[in-house]
């Protein structure tokens, strides 16, 4: 009974304290973004089309597309073995 | 006191129930109802002696396939004692989850005398190759070729014909793994030598053509590189479809500076494959996780006559895969069991059947998604290639023109076929007009016609 009363008292006091301390949140009225400062380092690349400047395109390099292994097909073969 | 009695009662009820599940599994195996037995056995895991379960699994898995046990968690699987069937199921589960190192660990534990040994050796060799242990992979693949020669014991073992085909497939897959591994090591000549040794009756013959075409390409034997892929146009290979073979042709022509032919291949691929892909994707909900009743379609495709289109072609391609043949073999066992299943086992059988059908449908969906992804990948590369050819040709055209202009400035020779008088001169036009020449300016026009003009 004694503990019950103490708990009741504590919870009431905590509630009254919360009511007193009203927290107000304020948001910034204005915010500016300096887009010039957000410069991204890198090469200018684009997929390009027939009208684009050819120098800016990444040129198709045959050697990048030559198959280096058959791992994907080996894995597929294993899916068939079950 | 009452609490203790209740707990004891619950314990006894559940342990009794699990033991009953094990008993039911044993009885179902005796009656050759393997699918129902698999469900009973799964219920007994963790409550019955793990060794007993493992022994029973050795009998069940060859008949039901590994699918019946793939849905078990690793925690549950670890509760079963160690046996070849259990280790094979664990290895395969890890492989599907792309945990290769774990898979290797379990496949290594499959004993040499078991039904699953050959498959395990192939899995091991392949996983070593994928994970960069190429020399080890070659050694194992060579061993696999030896072991899988005629007369080897493999699972499924019930029907001799299926068993023989499965063994042959393992043999041929191990055989092609050797040149593939050499290729990865950069030993291209050795790779070609091994490709040549493979018989044209091999299950892997279509891949032999395709894989070796890459090897020839790297050896700068372009005629052969194209020639190998041209073979896919033969009626005999109509049921094979390797999108990348078109890419090998295109890249070879590009290397030979035959731009017209390259563009032709790319356009053809776009028209005949890429555009049809969208219909294919929509038909089967390939972009979602929903399953499609592929099994029903596969059953009816033999009896009904479907229109020959891209979708039926894809089914034909898939039907040639050994994975489907093995699934069909297990499906036959399932249908046979359905007729003789007792009333007491009906519920368990239904559950096993539902799991099997789910796996079957998902398997086909995974394969179809694989096709779709591959087509998109190849198509994207070819589009890049096409754009660059156009850019190259455009630049080349400008270069030619500039060279001609420079030549003109120095030699003052006129190569263009228009008439002019002696007092008429050619000057570069830079936007300036002279009052006394107005009306007399004519542009230089160049004809692209080679030979006779159509008009």
Q: Does any CB of chain A come closer than 8 Å to the CB of residue B130?
A: yes
pLDDT band at B415 (very low <50, low <70, confident <90, very high): very low
Q: Which residues of A touch B (CB under 8 A)?
A: 47-50, 54, 57, 59-60, 62, 65-71, 73-82
Nearest residue to B222 (alpha-carbon basis) of B198, B250, B200, B243: B250
CB contact under 8 A, A69 and B67: no
Over residues B136-153, mean pLDDT: 87
pLDDT for residue B76? 93
pLDDT for residue A27? 63
CB B447 within 8 A of CB B455: no
Residue for token digits 């070659």? B138
pLDDT for residue B152? 64
Residue with the larger pLDDT of the pair B161 and A63: A63
Percent of chain B with pLDDT over 90: 40
| Residue from B388, B389, B394 whose CB has the most chain A CBs within 10 Å, to mutate | B388
CB B211 within 8 A of CB B221: no
- What's the pTM value of the predicted model, to 2 decimals? 0.73
pLDDT band at B241 (very low <50, low <70, confident <90, very high): confident
Residue with the larger pLDDT of the pair A43 and B344: B344
CB pairs under 8 A between A and B: 82
Q: Which helix (H) or strand (E) holds B255?
A: helix B243-255
- Of the partner residues A66, A76, A81, the one whose CB lies closest to the CB of residue B218: A66
pLDDT for residue A38? 47
Cα B30 to the center of its chain, rounded Å: 39
Cα A6 to the center of its chain, rounded Å: 48
Burial category of B432 from C-beta neighbours within 10 Å (exposed 0-12, middle 13-18, buried 19 and up)? exposed
pLDDT for residue B12? 45
pLDDT for residue B19? 60
CB contact under 8 A, A81 and B251: no
Percent of chain B with pLDDT over 70: 79
Which of A7-11, B12-16, B227-231, B298-302 shows the highest mean pLDDT? B227-231
Give the Å distances, CA to CA, from B258 to B246, B255, B271, B389: 15, 8, 20, 10
Shortest CA gap B9–chain A (Å): 39
Nearest residue to B302 (alpha-carbon basis) of B314, B291, B312: B312
- Of the partner residues A59, A67, A73, the one whose CB lies closest to the CB of residue B207: A73
- Express each pLDDT in A15-64 by its tens digit: 555 555 667 776 655 555 554 554 444 444 444 444 444 444 456 778 88
CB B95 within 8 A of CB B105: no
Does position B442 have pLDDT exceeding 50, yes or no? Answer: no
Does position B17 have pLDDT exceeding 60, yes or no? Answer: no
DSSP state, residue B270: I
CB contact under 8 A, A81 and B384: no
Over residues B72-84, mean pLDDT: 92
Q: Which helix (H) or strand (E) holds B262?
A: helix B259-269
Cα B272 to the center of its chain, rounded Å: 20
Q: Does any CB of chain A come closer than 8 Å to the CB of residue B385?
A: yes
DSSP state, residue B422: T
The Cα A69–Cα A80 span in angstroms is 20
Provide, as residue numbers in chain B, all residues whose Cβ is less than 8 Å from the Cβ of A63. Answer: none
CB B191 within 8 A of CB B165: no
pLDDT for residue B180? 98
pLDDT for residue B7? 54
CB contact under 8 A, B214 and A66: yes
ipTM of the complex: 0.80
For chain A, give the number of residues: 82
Q: Does any CB of chain A come closer than 8 Å to the CB of residue B99?
A: no
Range of weakest confidence among B11-15, B283-287, B337-341: B11-15
- Express each pLDDT in B45-64 by its tens digit: 988 888 999 999 999 998 89
Provide, as residue numbers in chain A, all residues whose Cβ is less than 8 Å from the Cβ of B321. Answer: 80
- Express each pLDDT in B180-212 by its tens digit: 999 999 999 999 999 999 988 899 999 999 999
Q: CA angle, corner B216, sides to B215 and B221, nearest 5?
A: 155
Does position B337 have pLDDT exceeding 60, yes or no? Answer: yes
Q: Which residue of B has its CA nearest to A58?
A: B388
When the pLDDT of each residue in chain B is averaged and rounded to a whole number, the result is: 82
Q: CA angle, corner A63, sides to A48 and B247, nearest 5?
A: 75
Nearest residue to B91 (alpha-carbon basis) of A78, A52, A23: A78
CB contact under 8 A, A79 and B390: no
Does position B446 have pLDDT exceeding 90, yes or no? Answer: no
In this structure, the number of other CB atoms found within 10 A of the CB of residue B252 comes to: 25
Does position B289 have pLDDT exceeding 50, yes or no? Answer: yes
Does position B1 have pLDDT exceeding 60, yes or no? Answer: no
Nearest residue to B280 (alpha-carbon basis) of B313, B322, B246: B313
pLDDT for residue B26? 93
Give the Å distances, CA to CA, from A35 to A30, A38, B245: 16, 5, 47
CB B253 within 8 A of CB B260: no
pLDDT band at B162 (very low <50, low <70, confident <90, very high): low
Does position B169 have pLDDT exceeding 70, yes or no? Answer: yes
CB contact under 8 A, B129 and A68: no
């Amino acid at each position: 009974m004694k503990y019950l009363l103490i708990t009741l008292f504590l919870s009431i006091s905590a509630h009254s304290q919360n009511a007193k301390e009203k927290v107000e949140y304020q948001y910034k009225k204005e915010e500016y973004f300096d887009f010039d400062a957000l410069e991204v380092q890198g090469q200018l690349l684009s997929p390009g089309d027939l009208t684009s400047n050819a120098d800016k395109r990444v040129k198709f390099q045959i050697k990048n597309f030559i198959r280096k292994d058959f791992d994907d097909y080996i894995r597929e073969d294993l899916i068939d073995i079950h | 006191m009452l609490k203790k009695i209740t707990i004891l009662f619950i314990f006894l009820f559940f342990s009794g129930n699990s033991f009953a599940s094990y008993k039911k599994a044993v009885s179902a195996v005796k009656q050759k109802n393997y699918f129902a037995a698999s469900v009973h056995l799964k219920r007994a895991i963790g409550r019955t002696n793990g060794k007993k379960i493992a022994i029973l699994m050795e009998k069940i898995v060859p008949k039901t396939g590994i699918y019946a046990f793939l849905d078990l968690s690793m925690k549950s699987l670890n509760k079963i004692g160690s046996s070849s069937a259990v280790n094979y199921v664990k290895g395969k589960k890890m492989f599907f989850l792309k945990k290769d190192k774990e898979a290797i660990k379990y496949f290594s534990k499959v004993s040499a005398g078991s039904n699953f040994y050959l498959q395990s050796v192939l899995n091991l060799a392949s996983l070593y190759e994928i994970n960069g242990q190429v020399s080890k992979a070659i050694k194992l693949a060579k061993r696999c070729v030896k072991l899988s020669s005629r007369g080897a014991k493999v699972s499924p073992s019930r029907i001799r014909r299926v068993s023989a085909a499965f063994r042959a497939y393992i043999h041929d897959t191990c055989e092609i793994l050797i040149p593939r591994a050499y290729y990865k090591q950069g030993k291209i000549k050795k790779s070609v030598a091994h490709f040549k040794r493979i018989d044209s009756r091999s299950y892997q013959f279509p891949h032999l053509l395709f894989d070796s075409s890459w090897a020839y390409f790297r050896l700068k034997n372009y005629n052969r590189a194209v020639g190998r892929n041209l073979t896919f146009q033969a009626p005999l290979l109509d049921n094979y479809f390797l999108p990348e073979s078109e890419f090998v042709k295109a890249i070879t022509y590009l290397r030979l500076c035959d731009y017209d032919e390259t563009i032709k291949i790319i356009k053809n691929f776009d028209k005949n494959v890429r555009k049809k892909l969208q219909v294919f994707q929509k038909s089967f909900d390939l972009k979602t996780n929903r399953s499609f009743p592929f099994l029903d379609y596969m059953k009816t495709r033999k009896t009904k006559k479907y229109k020959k289109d891209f979708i039926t072609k894809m089914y034909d391609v898939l039907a040639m895969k050994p994975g489907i043949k093995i699934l069909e073999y297990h499906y036959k066992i399932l249908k046979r069991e359905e007729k003789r299943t007792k009333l007491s086992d009906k519920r368990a059988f239904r559950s096993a059947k539902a799991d099997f059908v789910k796996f079957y449908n998902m398997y086909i969906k995974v394969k179809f998604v694989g096709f779709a992804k591959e087509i998109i990948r190849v198509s994207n590369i070819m589009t890049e290639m096409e754009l660059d050819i156009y850019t190259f040709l455009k630049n080349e055209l400008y270069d030619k023109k500039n060279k001609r202009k420079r030549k003109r400035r120095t030699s003052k020779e006129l190569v263009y076929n228009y008439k002019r008088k002696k007092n008429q001169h050619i000057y570069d036009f830079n936007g300036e007009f002279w009052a006394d020449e107005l009306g007399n300016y004519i542009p230089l026009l160049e004809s692209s016609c080679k030979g006779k003009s159509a008009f």
